[in-house]
Amino acid sequence: MIQRLFINAALLFSFLTLSIYSQTISEIRITGDDNLTDPVKKLISITPSQILTDSLPEEKAEKLLLLSLKDFGFFSIESITRNREYSSDSAFYVLTFNVVPGMRSIIREIIAADSAMPDLTLLREELEGMAFDRLLIEEAMKNLLLREENRGYPFSAVNIKKVVLKGDSVSVYIGISSGPKGTIQQIEITGNALTSREVIIRELRLKEGETYSDELAAKIPPRLNRLRLFEPVSPPSFYFNSKDEGVLSISVNERQFNNFDGIVGYMPPGQNEKNGYITGLLTISLRNILGSGRMAGFRWQKIDRNSQELEIKYTEPWLFAFPVNVSGGVFQRKQDTTYIQLKYDFSADYMLNENVTLSWIAGFESIVPQVNDSIARFTVYNSSYFTNGAEAVFDSRNDPLVPERGVYLKASFSLSNKKINGPAQYISPGQQVSFLLRRTVSQLQFYSTIIRRQVAALRLRYQEVSGDNLETNDFYRLGGNTDLRGYRENQFLASRILMANLEYRFLTGGRTFIYPFFDIAYYKRDANPVSRITADEQVKAGYGAGVYLETGAGMLRVEYGLAKGDSFSEGKIHFGIVSEF
């Protein structure tokens, strides 16, 4: 009889227990006295999903609550009571914990668990006198760990050894294991099948026996990206080899260095024309000659029936092992039936540090008007120019080809001595034939990642040329795929330009992206009656969309632009190969 009663009682208890826990907790609330402030209650909130699979969900929730309360300095909890509020069908209920937490403990002191530990002064200043908060302490320890890593201890570890309660305050014992000092004794480079190891080493700008740190590691990818020889470089790793030597390991993936690309087009004859003409673009780019980092380039472009450009460039990097790049180039432009321009350029770039470059620029230029015996008319003077100038560049972009963050700032100033040599029939007695031209160029580019793989790019530019007797060849040319999109190439001539370009880029992979753009430019041109140049001053705007492609032929840009007031059918397609010089 007694045994049967015992069995019945056990079955009844089991049924009641299953009945309670078969009901689902829909919400967990926490209430308490004034010591349990609203911000703390939000931080220690417990959700039903945390206890969903537990066989005793209320007990599990209370354990989580106790741990959370201790994390926020409530070590002397006076009481915790539970309350249930059931739904109308009793299938769900809200579980409420009413907490009397007692006083929240204050951090009285931060103590080093080991006398050999680094200075904890900053940690003490940050935490002592504050209410105990494990999250706040862990954040402070992360900062301490970062400081240790930047001191050259990349394998440091920090933790809370113990917390000792003394009345209404606590003493927190911090332990740090610094590990061996991260001195760079070897540099390991992989992936450079063609590029010389010395080219990479010199660009790293590392001193012998330099100490490794996260700050140093973060600087290496932008330094190597500026070579434009590799796919975007990842941060290096650091390890100790079997001989306990510190090894900096860098992995690169080489891009295609040499490109040959050509486009040929045919323009049929227009009205009153017997024959059509050939247009085209030919580029040859050698960006890493014999793996040395030397660069050479050739470009020929037939613009229309009577106009064409020819350009040759060469760059010698790190002249005599000094951080000086020397460049030279030849440029020829045949401008319709007006003139032929021949220009020789030279520059020496001193790389002051990884972000700042100072340059001296020089050049010689000649302008020769084309003579048409059947039409005697003035076009431009036969003139020559000797130019000297200086330039400063600040560049903090993470990648010069497709930056995701950083700033590019450029300022240059040059003086050109211009001398008119002819034609004699257009030079009056006593006419001034020597002039001084001043050119000022300022650029600001800003790049910022808005969200992952979406980048906002803003470019501002100011250009001005001033001096007496400015001719057509002295002006800046505006319009086309390099600046004011939606207009014809070189549509406007200007002595002063102020313009802005805005793009919102969607990165699709590698260095490829698509983007909408908006361009706006103010330009001004002063009149010169001698050269039959009229004054002009306007504001122009263009907008559209484009794609920037990384291909075997190089970096290509294809854009569809509309000028303000254009219909869709009047848009311009801009195509260009991005110069990597």
- From the first residue on, what is the mean pLDDT of each consecutive set of 10 residues in the chain (581 residues)? 50 45 77 78 77 78 88 88 86 88 90 75 87 89 86 87 88 86 92 93 88 90 91 92 92 85 70 75 86 91 84 94 94 86 95 94 91 65 93 94 94 94 82 90 96 95 92 88 85 94 93 94 88 88 91 77 86 73 55
Residue whose entry in the numeric block shows the structure tokens 């099948």? 193
Domain termination site, one of 80, 100, 120 = 100
Based on the domain organization, do 246 and 274 belong to the same domain?
no
Based on the domain organization, do 65 and 134 belong to the same domain?
no
Q: What is the pTM of this model?
A: 0.74
Based on the domain organization, do 130 and 279 belong to the same domain?
no
Number of structural domains (the chain) is 4
What per-residue confidence (pLDDT) applies to 111? 87
Residue pair 36/45 in contact (Cβ under 8 Å)? The answer is no
What per-residue confidence (pLDDT) applies to 355? 92
What per-residue confidence (pLDDT) applies to 14? 46
DSSP 8-state secondary structure symbol assigned to residue 104: P
Domain termination site, one of 205, 236, 251 = 251
Based on the domain organization, do 161 and 225 belong to the same domain?
no
Based on the domain organization, do 87 and 150 belong to the same domain?
no
What per-residue confidence (pLDDT) applies to 372? 60
Based on the domain organization, do 483 and 412 belong to the same domain?
yes
Based on the domain organization, do 51 and 161 belong to the same domain?
no
Based on the domain organization, do 344 and 233 belong to the same domain?
no
Q: How far apart are CA 367 and CA 349, in angstroms?
A: 27
Q: What angle do CA 446, 484, 445 make, to 5 degrees?
A: 10
Provide the β-strand partners of residue 191: none
What is the DSSP track for 500-544? Answer: EEEEEEEEEETTEEEEEEEEEEEEEE--BGGGTBPPEEEEEEEEE
What is the crossing angle of helices 214-225 and 134-150, to 10°? 60
Q: The domain spanning residue 211 has which CATH number?
A: 3.10.20.310
Based on the domain organization, do 350 and 279 belong to the same domain?
yes
What per-residue confidence (pLDDT) applies to 21? 47
Based on the domain organization, do 110 and 96 belong to the same domain?
no
CA dist 441 → 328, 474, 498, 520 (Å): 20, 14, 10, 17
What per-residue confidence (pLDDT) applies to 520? 95
What per-residue confidence (pLDDT) applies to 3? 52
Residue pair 277/305 in contact (Cβ under 8 Å)? The answer is yes
What is the DSSP track for 23-52? Answer: SEEEEEEEEE-TTS-HHHHHHT---GGGGT
Based on the domain organization, do 127 and 94 belong to the same domain?
no
Based on the domain organization, do 162 and 272 belong to the same domain?
no
Domain termination site, one of 67, 100, 133 = 100
Domain span at residue 163 reads 106-177
What per-residue confidence (pLDDT) applies to 17? 47
What per-residue confidence (pLDDT) applies to 12? 47
What per-residue confidence (pLDDT) applies to 121? 83
